[in-house]
Structures are given as C-alpha cells and as structure tokens.
Structure 1
Amino acid sequence: MHSTQDSRAGTRELDFVARLLRRPDSLAAVLADIIRALAPISVVYAVVALGWVETAVMMLVFLGVLLARAAALPAALDGATSALLLAAAWFSVADLYARIAWIDLATHFAVGAVLAALARIMLERWDAAALAPSPGRTSVASVVAGALVGAALGLALSVVWEFLEWWGHTYIDETVNVGYLDTLSDVAVGGLGGLIAGAVLAITSRGRTR
C-alpha cells in the first residue's frame, strides 16, 4: 500500500517538473511565458531599487507564476494569472490602491478569481477530493458544485492574504491598510471572484485534461 502511494507521489512530482519545464506549444503560451518573465525581472529590480518588503511581494508573485506554469493552465488563463499577479504587486508599489479607490476591490476580485482557478486545477492534477472533471455533459449540479468549491478557495486565499496584510501592518509597516471594512470587502470580492471562476471552470471542464 505504501509503495503504491509513494509511486504515485513520485509520478506526480515528475509530472509537476515536466509541466514546469515544458516548451510552449502555441503563440498564446509564448505570450504567457513572456509575461511570466517579468516576475524575476521585478524581483531583481525590487532587490536593487526598492525595499525588502517589496522584494518579498515580488518573490511571492514569482512563486505564483511558476505554479501557474506547473499547473499547465490553459494559455489564456496562464497569461491572465501572471499579468494580474504582477499588476497587483506593482499597483501596491505605485501606491495606486490608496490613490484610486476602486482599484483595490477590482484587483482582489480578479486575483481571487485566477488564484481560485489555479488552486482548483492544481487540486485536479493531484486528484484531491475527486475534483478532476468527469466525462459527459456538464450539469447544473456540477456547475453549482464547481462554483461553491471556487468560492471556498477564493475566500480561503483571501483570508490568507488579509492575514499577511495584518502581519505586515503590525510588524513591518503601519501604512498597510487593514481596516475592518477594507478587510471584509477584500475577502468578499475575492470569494465572489472564486465563485465565478469555479462556475466557469465547471462549464468548460469537458475541454480540460488532467
């Protein structure tokens, strides 16, 4: 039993590396990789010209775009994930969240959606909780279930991010915005983005392979 589980774990790790190192197979995949390449460039720039807080944020973005590639997302979703994560980080560096009110909620909604989709597909790859799409026609029940899973992932990831913001405000930089209304609004729109992403993934699941 243990040998079978170890073998499956080893196969998954090999698949993870293979997907990470695979060559782009379309123009959209090439464009996604070009956008992704901006992440390590942003890390280097943050190290040289910004502070260690900004460097940490850019490193998180770099991790996110690597996971997006390893998950073998559809090229359009892959590129959108990288672009939105980079935009979210640079909006923070440019202090746009404080200067333009609607950008904060819009970014949390969009990032919540793509991260929930990324998490859902990564769980599918690892056969977690039998989340891989089933063959056959998409049903209302499967769309509702997908939306609920997406909402749960979006809410969970939003809570993690808000905790990081609280930690940053408390121990690093008091200018980080952690107000009660801001936190609840960010979590709510992140969950909404995840819900919509989960429903869309369920609807399009027939064209997605594991």
Structure 2
Amino acid sequence: MIETFRRLPRGPAEVAADGVRVLGLLSIVVALIGWSPLDVAVLALGLLGLVIPRFLGTRPALDIAFGITVLVATWSGLLNLYEAIAFWDILVHFALNGLFAAVLYILAMRCDVIPDPGDGRASFRTVFTLITAFGLASGAVWELSEWVGHTIVDETIFVGYNDTIGDIAAGALGSLLAGLAGHYLTAESRFIPARPPASASI
C-alpha cells in the first residue's frame, strides 16, 4: 500500500482527488486560527479519512466523492449546519455511510479478507451483501461513538433516539445503493501490489 500511496497522480481525475486532500490539510490550518482544539482534532480525523483511499488505490471517482463528503461532514459540524438545516444530518449520513462502506470493502479486499470482484471471484450478490453489511456496521459504530462523545467529551454533541434511528436508516439506505454500484466502486484503478520477496541467490 505504501507504493500505491507514493505513486504520482496520473490524469486530471487523480490530480483532483489529491486536490481534495490538500483542501483537508488547509482546513486544519484554517481551524487553528478560529476554532477550538476539539474542532481541529475533528478535522485531523477527517484528513486521516481522506488519505485512506490513496493508500488503497481506489478509483478516482470514489476517491473524490468520498473526500468531498468527508470534508462536508466535518465542516458541517464546525459551522453548525446540522442544527441550522433540517435533514442535513440525514443527507450526510446517507452519502458518507454508503461511500465509507465501499471503502471498507476495498480495504478488506486489499488485505485478502474478501474476494476481489475484478478477478471474477465475487458475484454481484456477494459484493452487494458485504458492502451493505459494512455500511450497517459502521453506521452503528458511528452512533455509538457519538454517544461516547456526548457522555465523555462534549455534552453539546446531540444524541437522541429519533436522531440515532434516523441516522442509521439513512446510512443503511446509502449502503444499499453503494452495494448496488459495488462492482463499479470497487473496481481496481491504481493499486500497486506488494512485491514478493526476492529469492536468495546461491
């Protein structure tokens, strides 16, 4: 994965994907000027999410969509858009949960935990089921992390039964749609496999 991360971008789409990562880095610089340390930490966590597709060598379309959605999600919290715009939270969960589920599938695929659809070892049903399952699981973990944040870190983090169920439902729907597009989203684009160790010469 290191070789994939270090590879120079090829074509405008890959340059654009790296441009989104630059925006993530600049976001931290901006937050250092006018926001709290907790806000800076949230953006730093978002930047970590932005670099994951680079390590995995995801196709640029998924890389860009995931990166922009992560930036929107993090800045929405800092700008209080979740409170200001009705259903904004639902829309973000719908988009981010689905895209994140696809990224999780690719991560498991790169680790040889699940089959690669590109070599014919994974059927549409397999990809659809696993991406949907990853989305449901990650949605539940996210809601749990919100509860932990509200209980331990900051009481202003909003949690509630209706909010939790709505977020999980939106994320589940996004994951279902990502599962339907699973073969496209998980298609190998720029991943460089690890080189096998050189055999010792006698």
Task: Say if 1:173 and 1:18 are closer, same or farther in 2 by CA, change over 3 A.
Answer: same
Unpaired runs of 5+ in structure 2? 192-202
Q: Distance in 1 between matches of 2:57 and 2:120?
A: 22
**Aligned residue among 40, 53, 56 for 2:38:** 53
Identity %: 36
- Give the equivalent residue in structure 2 for 1:144: 125
1:26 deviates by 1.1
Alignment pair present for 1:62 and 2:41: no
Map residues 54-203 of structure 1 onto 2, 5 A cutoff.
54-128=39-113, 130-133=114-117, 135-136=119-120, 142-202=123-183
1:165 deviates by 1.2
1:145 deviates by 2.3
Q: Distance in 2 between matches of 1:179 and 1:137?
A: 42
Task: Say if 1:107 and 1:178 are closer, same or farther in 2 by CA, change over 3 A.
Answer: same
Task: Say if 1:189 and 1:62 are closer, same or farther in 2 by CA, change over 3 A.
Answer: same
On the 8 A contact 2:117/2:127 being kept in 1, the answer is: no
Q: Distance in 2 between matches of 1:39 and 1:204?
A: 22
SS of 1:101's partner is coil
On the 8 A contact 1:116/1:153 being kept in 2, the answer is: yes
Q: Distance in 2 between matches of 1:136 and 1:20?
A: 26
SS of 1:177's partner is coil
Number of aligned residues? 190
Unpaired runs of 5+ in structure 1? 1-15
Q: TM-score, normalised by structure 2?
A: 0.86
RMSD value over aligned CA atoms?
2.0
The letter of the residue matching 1:125 is R
Q: Runs (4+) of structure 1 moved beyond 4 Å?
A: none
Name which of structure 1's ranges 39-48 and 113-122 shifts more when overlaid on structure 2.
39-48
